[in-house]
Amino acid sequence: MLKVKHNAKEYEVRMEIGDYQPEDLTVKLVGDQLSITGEIKHHDAHGSVSTQFSRQFTIPEVTSLFGRRRNLCTVTARIQTV
- In angstroms, the CA 37 to CA 31 distance is 17
pLDDT tens digits for 18-46? Answer: 888 888 989 888 877 889 999 999 899 99
pTM for the predicted model, two decimal places: 0.69
The string of DSSP codes covering 7-76 is -SS-EEEEE--TT--GGGEEEEEETTEEEEEEEEEEEETTEEEEEEEEEEEEPPPEE-TTS-EE------
Cβ neighbours of residue 72 closer than 8 Å, sequence gap 6 or more: 11, 59, 62
7 confidence band (pLDDT: 50, 70, 90)? confident
Q: Which CATH class is domain 2-70?
A: mainly beta
